[in-house]
Every structure is written in structure tokens, then in C-alpha cells.
Structure 1
Amino acid sequence: MLRTAQAALGVSVLSGLDKSFAAAEPAPAGTGGKAKAVIYLYMAGGMSHIDTFDPKTGVTKGYKDPIGTNVSGIQLGGYMTKMSKMADKLSIVRSMTSKTGAHQEGNYMMHTGYDRRGTILHPTLGSWAQHFKGRSHPSLPSSVTIGAGSANAGFFPTALAPVPISSPQDGLQYAKPTVGEDMFKKRLSLVNEFDTAFRDKFRSPEVRAYTEFYDETINLLTSKDLEAFDLTKEDAATRQMYGNGFGQGCLLARRLVQSGVRFVEVTAGGWDMHTQVDGAMERTGKGMDTAFSALLTDLQRTGLLDSTMVVLGSEFGRTPDINENNGRDHYPKVFSTVFAGGGVKAGYVHGASDKDGREVADKQVTVQDFIATIGAAMGLPVSEVVMSPSGRPFTVGDRGKVVSELFA
């Protein structure tokens, strides 16, 4: 259908806007959620908890000493020099645990709350939110992934899938007509003329959805809201504050939620640090430190932090002990995630690992709890059972327990 639209009208949009299936009717939203939008910062590869948000001073310390923060009693890893000034905005969970230390399985679970299975695809949080709450904006998508994110709707209709953006600098590519306005209108008129008889004869939901696709495409093409994807609208100082690569993705995320997109995921790779963890942290860790701190600063400056929850996570942690290659290996037994804004407590640490970062010592949080907590923050009815097309029951976070202690 996308190729048909491009050939017939001279347009192209991404598959996340495909309306070949009708979206589900929104169900009543849950109560208590303060987050109107969520930005999920995903550290792909397995972020070292000890070198970032759960530093140690003993045999597992690593290459840098812990550093103090602007909250008494909270320390961060030595690479987190900018985030150390943001601790008064954070809720740090130091007691995460997962059942898998494999990348694909862990990544899938940290996006869906479910084990990866060959028989079904589970929705990610942006799709769950659109199912329950409907569209968040009349022309912009309700959810977006920036980088190598998980852009699928699971067992929901494809219309609920996030729109994938591969490069924040390029934004939403191919979203402008490739022909002039007069030719565009002429082609649209011809398409409507050819399709009228078919639409009149076959009045099915699928055919109606096909027509809606063209209507929404045109709406998007002619909307000034497309500027939300254009980073050149930001001043040079703001763009520089965020840093490169992942940082520009965070800036785009801020622009999108500011414009009405409900859920944005930004992925940063480079965290699979089996060798030379010190050098890798100097590059990847400090890039995250710069971007995360800039995002929180910018959200506060624009008045969005109270209504936007920022979440940072990874598929697992890394081994407390440095290996023979001066790196750290996969470690799902205990790791850290971070929450900020959107109604969560500030300057708070939830749970703990033991003195060497090897085991959960207090207030264990599962991946299912993590997903359910984000859903609850968005006001989703996380305990409500939704039946898949195959007749199987599912909930947001696979019946995980909401970590209510995180909320102010």
C-alpha cells in the first residue's frame, strides 16, 4: 500500500502510519498517572550498573571512584559527572533483576515485559498506550522510535506501531510530495475517481482503512506539525548542549513530546563492553551522561518535566568483576534503571544491590514490575486483561507489580 501511494500520489511515509487494519477502540484509561508523555532512553547492549548508577568502593569498583552528587548520600559512577548534578531529579532503582542474559531475549523483555516466543509478538508501551487512550495528536504519530528501537505493534493492528526514525538529523524522511502541488492534486483526483466504484461495492473495514491511509497521509504532508521532526529549528547552543548522535536523538524526543507525541524511545548502542570498559565508558558512558543531563535540563526549562517521565533502562547489567580483557560481561542478576519527571520522586533511591553489586539486597524489581510501573505512570489500566486475536489474555507488563514507592 505504501508503494501504491508513492507511485500514485508521489508521496512516501513510514510503515508506522499504515492503516491497513482498523485501530482498536480506546478503552477507559487508568487512574493516577501524571505522565502525559514518556521518553524511554534505552542503553542497548547491557549498561554497567557499577560504572553508572550503582557504584561500589570494594573489589568491584572498576576504574573510577564513585563521585558525590547534589543529593546527600547518593553517589554515582565516576563517569557521570553531569548527571551527578541532576540527582535531585532522579529516582534510581538499584534492585532490578531479569531472567535472561542474552541480548535479544533481554531486549524484548525490557520492551514488552514478556518472554520472547515464536507464536506471538507482544506490544511495546507506545502501542499499549494508543490502544487504551487513542491517538495523542490529530496528525503526528502517537509513538516514535529513534535509532534501532522496537517499532512494532505486537498483536495490535499495525496502525498502532511506532514510527521509526533511523537518524534524528534526517527526521521523518520522504514525508514531502515528490511532485508539484498541481500534479499532486491531479493524481489524488484520479486515484479517488478510480477507487470510488470499488469503495462503493466493497464497504468493508479493510477498504475503509485503506481510504483513511490516504487521508492521514495528506493530513501529515500538509501539516505544519512536521516541523517537530526538524532539528534545524533549534538554536545552535541547544543542539550543542545535547552532544552528538544519541544526544541529538534526545533533543528530537523533547521536540516530539513538546508537539504532542505521547511515547518516544531513543536507543544508544555501544554498551556491550566485554573489553576495555574504561575506554568504552569514556566514550559511550559520557555521551549518555551529556545527553541525559541535557534532556532533563531542557525539559525543566520548557516546563515539560512535570508531565514527561524520562526512563533509562538496559537489557541487563554487567559483571561486577572485571574480566581478563579489562571488560565486563553480561549480568542479569542485578542492575539499575532510572526514572525522572512525570510524577516520580526526586532525589530517591529504590532498593539496593549488595556491597559488591552481585545480588539484589533489598526491594527486588522485576522487568515486569518495571513495565507495569511505566504504564501506571501513563495512566494505563495495567491490570486490565486484553485478549489477543488468537484469544489469549495479556496485560501491560505481564501482571507485574507497580512500584508505587517511586511516585511522589
Structure 2
Amino acid sequence: MLTRRELLKHSSAGFGYLALAGMSNHGREAFGAEVANGAEVTAAHPLAPKQPHFAGQAKRVIFLCMQGGPSHVDTFDYKPDLLKDHGKRAKYGGSLLKSPWKFRQHGESGLWVSDLFPQVATHADDLCLIRSMHCDQPVHPGAMTQMHTGTAQFVRPSIGAWTLYGLGTENESLPGFVSLSPPAGSSRNYGSAFLPAIYGGTKVGRTGSRFAQAARFAGGAQESVPDIKNPTLDAREQRRQLNFIQKLNRSQMPDGDTAHVEGVIQSYELAFKMQDAMPSLMDLSDEDERTLKAYGADGGPTATFGKQCLLARRFAEAGVRFIEITHGNWDQHNRLTEDHAARAEACDGPIAALLADLKSRDMLDETLVIWGGEFGRTPSAQNGDGRNHNNKGYTLWMAGGGVKGGYSYGATDEHGFEAVENPCHVHDWHATVLHLLGLDHEQLTYRYAGRDFRLTDVYGNVVHDIIA
């Protein structure tokens, strides 16, 4: 006869870390009924949809994370003085380096975009450029962590985890936060820290991989999530085990108090449901050839990122609250002309297709699409054809989700070294993203170690000027 410990061990086979995702219950609403001991038992689910603090325009986020720091002065921050002063001594040393790419005005708004992104430029009237971003960290790990969690010094929940904690999700069979090929270096960038673990991101694909497993056209999607299928038990037997474990756990709690184990039970339920929902959602074989071609998912340098962008649309459509895609490496200390061109070629078309697809499905207004890296790059040259890190001023853009389209906010100096007009710190950006989702960054708190924590700590101001 199996012991309770052995039953727990065997039932978790095939679920991996997903089955252990949530260790406590902080849900406010029933997310459906679960079956236990032959009868329905209604339980509050930690991922149940929650009411925002106020009516926000955005219902979900797709974050296109450009790892490595793309150069703002070569992409979305036009600096004619940099062209004019090419070769002159820069104010922080070295020589100024003009952009190898021409900038042109696009759309009715006339936004300046470089020739690195010709297809994204066709959506200029949907873009809201924040050209005055700045952060505290000049090195990749710290800046990337601050971009995701608000701090580089401490372990804090990521913006995706805070979003899921604040709003819940709209699909009980899928994780509410998915990170496709997450940023290198640390799980902190998609983790939940002291929030219940079920709010952390579900990692799909490996950083730097070609994403072949995660986006096969048929049958292979299940391989992209570790141990998504139980290799020894069918669904019926798994269901019986879960129901029995539920019964045992509930029987051990005095007076029917199940609060301490409900999160564990719900994480098992989610993992059980994901076995069918996740592989099916990630199977692109039902997409027509025109869609695959538009995203560049049918081959060539755009295939990897194109598949990821298409999956992001499918996840968003299915009710996932926060989707992040990591693309890079944009860290060109040399070979800027060659490597930035290659990075842009791989993602320009897919991003444009994603924006067009969301708009055609009437989803863009409720989907906040974000593009940006952890910092920018210097206007001065490094190693001849390269640029160094620059956290003092850089560009990030957003589209849809309640932001003004065809709009430019803030500015760096004449060469692009630092933000000088309407500076926007990472804390301000975080506050603004939460605001667009209907969440007050000062009210979205979690009590831990005797104090109330929030994504923006004690900082941050909503940038109301960019809100439509």
C-alpha cells in the first residue's frame, strides 16, 4: 500500500516545477469548481480574474524585451547633430559616431524612425516613443533586473508577477504569465520572489536557443515545456490521484480549514489542465500560410522570432495576462553596423506583423505592446564600429493598450547622451504600465517581512502625458 508521501511523489511526475508553482492561496474569486471525492468543491483560485483598482484600457501585456541594449541613436532617437558632428570629440571622451542608417519621417505623425526598422515604421502612428528613459545601472545584469523588478539590489517580484497578482488571468487551463526564451542571467527577471510562487512566469524555451522545439508546426510543442506530459499515467488515473490527494489533505485540516494547502492543490490542478491546453495552443499547424509568411515564421532569419510573436498573439487571445519574448543579443561594442542590422532584420517584420494582426482582430486597443532593452548605447564610438552602454538616456516604445499613437515623449540631449527633457525613470515607466492596466502602483502591495512592498518601492510617477 502506498503511503501519502509516496502518492504525492508519484502524482507529481510529469508536472515538473509547474506542479509546485503555487504554495499559498490569495485569490479573491472562485475560478471554477474542482472535483473532489465525487462532488464539486468550489475553491478560491489564486489566479482567478480580479477587479482592477479602476477601469484601465489595457487587459494584457506583450513585452518584447531586447536583451543587450539596442542603440537608441540608431533606431528611434533621431539626432541630426550626431551626423553633423561625426568624428568630433564627445563630452565624455572619445569621438562621436554618426549612425550608419538614415532616419525618415513616417505616418501622419511624422515620427522619425531609422531604416533599421522599415516595417515597424509603417506602424508609426501606433507607436508611443519614450525618448527619455533612464535607469540606475550601467551594466547588463543590474539594468536587466531593474527593468524587470524595479531594483538591482534585492530579490523582488517581476513586473509580470505583479500584473498577474493584481489582475489574475482569464484562462484557468494556462499560466497567467509566460516568458518565451527568458532573459539570460537570472530567474529573477520572470520570478515571483516573495509573492506566492504561482504568480511567477512559466518559462517556455531556453535563452539563446533557436526555439525549434517551442514552435514546431505540429506535435512538438509539448517538448517546449519540461515534463508537461505524465509518461506513466493517463488523464483518468491522474484525476483519480489528484482527487484522493485532495481528500487526504483536506482531512488533515482542522474544522475544514484548507487555506494552507489550497495553493498546492490549485497548482496541481493547473498543471493537470496544462497537459492538454499548452501543447494545443503552441501547435502552429492550424495557422494559414499567409499568416506564417506575414510573421516570417516560415523560414529565414525571421523564423525564430516570428514564431515567438505568433505564439504571443495566440497566448494573448487565449487569456494569458502577461507575455514576454526575449530577443538579442544587441550588445555591440564592436561590429555595430553588421550585428545591429542582423538583429533588426530578425525582428522588424515579425513585430510589424504582430501589431497588424492584433489590430485586425480588434485586440491592439486592449493589448499593451512594449519594445525596449535594459538601456541604450553611447553616441561616441567604441572599438571603431561599436558603442558602449548608456543608462543615462535611451528609448523605449509602447503601442496599443491606452497610449497615444504617433507620439514622442521626452528627449535626450543633441547627441543622445542623457535624458534632458521629461526624464522617465524605470520606476515611472512601471507606474505607467500598471496604470494602463487599471492598477494603482501605490495600492498594489503585498505584505512581507513586516512591511508593504510594491513594484515601484517608494518611487514612481505615472506619465499621464502619454495616455490617450
TM-score by length of 2: 0.79
Partner of 2:91: none
1:125: how far off?
2.0
Partner of 2:157: 123
- Residue 313 of structure 1 aligns to which amino acid in structure 2? G
- Residue 273 of structure 2 aligns to which amino acid in structure 1? N
- Residue 18 of structure 1 aligns to which amino acid in structure 2? A
Task: Map Cα deviations across residues 247-299 of structure 1 (whole Å, 9 max, x no partner).
Answer: 22111111100111111011102111111100011110222222221111111
Task: Map Cα deviations across residues 193-216 of structure 1 (whole Å, 9 max, x no partner).
Answer: 577445412455343333333333
1:126: how far off?
2.1
Output the CA distance in 2 between the equivalents of 1:194 and 1:91.
50
Output the CA distance in 2 between the equivalents of 1:16 and 1:89.
40
Partner of 1:164: 203
- Residue 56 of structure 2 aligns to which amino acid in structure 1? G
Secondary structure of the structure 2 residue equivalent to 1:244: helix
- Residue 240 of structure 2 aligns to which amino acid in structure 1? S
Partner of 2:240: 189
Partner of 2:434: 375
Secondary structure of the structure 1 residue equivalent to 2:62: strand
Secondary structure of the structure 2 residue equivalent to 1:252: helix
Secondary structure of the structure 2 residue equivalent to 1:245: helix
Output the CA distance in 2 between the equivalents of 1:91 and 1:195.
49
1:56 to 64, 79, 99: 79
User: Radius of gyration: which is bigger?
Assistant: 2
1:136–1:262 CA contact under 8 A, matched in 2: yes
- Residue 81 of structure 1 aligns to which amino acid in structure 2? P
Partner of 2:228: 175
Output the CA distance in 1 between the equivalents of 2:373 and 2:425.
13
1:401: how far off?
0.7
Partner of 1:402: 462
Partner of 1:248: 307
1:123–1:156 CA contact under 8 A, matched in 2: yes
The change in CA–CA distance for 1:71 and 1:191 in structure 2 (over 3 A counts) is closer
Partner of 1:305: 364
Output the CA distance in 2 between the equivalents of 1:139 and 1:191.
16
2:24–2:262 CA contact under 8 A, matched in 1: no
Structure 2 regions of 5+ residues with no counterpart?
A: 1-5, 30-49, 87-96, 184-188, 206-210, 216-220, 296-301
Partner of 1:207: 261
Output the CA distance in 2 between the equivalents of 1:190 and 1:80.
53
The change in CA–CA distance for 1:333 and 1:191 in structure 2 (over 3 A counts) is closer
Output the CA distance in 2 between the equivalents of 1:13 and 1:304.
33
Task: Map Cα deviations across residues 17-66 of structure 1 (whole Å, 9 max, x no partner).
Answer: 62222235487522241001110111111110011111223224221221
1:379: how far off?
0.8
Is 1:18–2:21 an aligned residue pair? yes
Range moving further from structure 2, 387-396 or 91-100: 387-396
Matches within 5 A, 1:192-341: 192-193=243-244, 196-197=247-248, 199-202=250-253, 204-223=258-277, 226-242=279-295, 243-341=302-400
Output the CA distance in 2 between the equivalents of 1:16 and 1:265.
21
1:35–1:306 CA contact under 8 A, matched in 2: yes
Partner of 2:190: 151
1:146–1:265 CA contact under 8 A, matched in 2: yes
Task: Map Cα deviations across residues 80-137 of structure 1 (whole Å, 9 max, x no partner).
Answer: 11122110110001111112111111001111222332xxx21122221222223332
The change in CA–CA distance for 1:6 and 1:69 in structure 2 (over 3 A counts) is farther
Task: Map Cα deviations across residues 211-243 of structure 1 (whole Å, 9 max, x no partner).
Answer: 3333333333355x7522222332233223222
2:136 to 99, 115, 133: 99
Fraction of identical pairs, as percent? 29
Secondary structure of the structure 2 residue equivalent to 1:310: strand
Please, what is the CA RMSD of the aligned residues?
2.6
The change in CA–CA distance for 1:161 and 1:17 in structure 2 (over 3 A counts) is farther
Output the CA distance in 2 between the equivalents of 1:68 and 1:194.
62
Partner of 2:46: none
1:41 to 43, 47, 64: 64
1:314–1:337 CA contact under 8 A, matched in 2: yes
The change in CA–CA distance for 1:65 and 1:216 in structure 2 (over 3 A counts) is closer
Q: How many residues are paired up?
A: 401
- Residue 215 of structure 1 aligns to which amino acid in structure 2? E
1:385–1:393 CA contact under 8 A, matched in 2: no
- Residue 51 of structure 1 aligns to which amino acid in structure 2? D
Secondary structure of the structure 2 residue equivalent to 1:91: strand
2:111 to 48, 52, 74: 74
Secondary structure of the structure 1 residue equivalent to 2:353: helix
1:179: how far off?
4.0
2:333–2:383 CA contact under 8 A, matched in 1: no
- Residue 178 of structure 1 aligns to which amino acid in structure 2? P
Task: Map Cα deviations across residues 66-86 of structure 1 (whole Å, 9 max, x no partner).
Answer: 123124542112211112211
Output the CA distance in 1 between the equivalents of 2:420 and 2:448.
41
Partner of 2:47: none
1:178: how far off?
2.5
- Residue 237 of structure 1 aligns to which amino acid in structure 2? R
Range moving further from structure 2, 388-397 or 280-289: 388-397
Secondary structure of the structure 1 residue equivalent to 2:133: strand
Output the CA distance in 1 between the equivalents of 2:367 and 2:10.
39
Output the CA distance in 1 between the equivalents of 2:452 and 2:13.
42
1:144: how far off?
0.7
The change in CA–CA distance for 1:163 and 1:190 in structure 2 (over 3 A counts) is closer
2:107–2:122 CA contact under 8 A, matched in 1: yes
Matches within 5 A, 1:330-369: 330-369=389-428
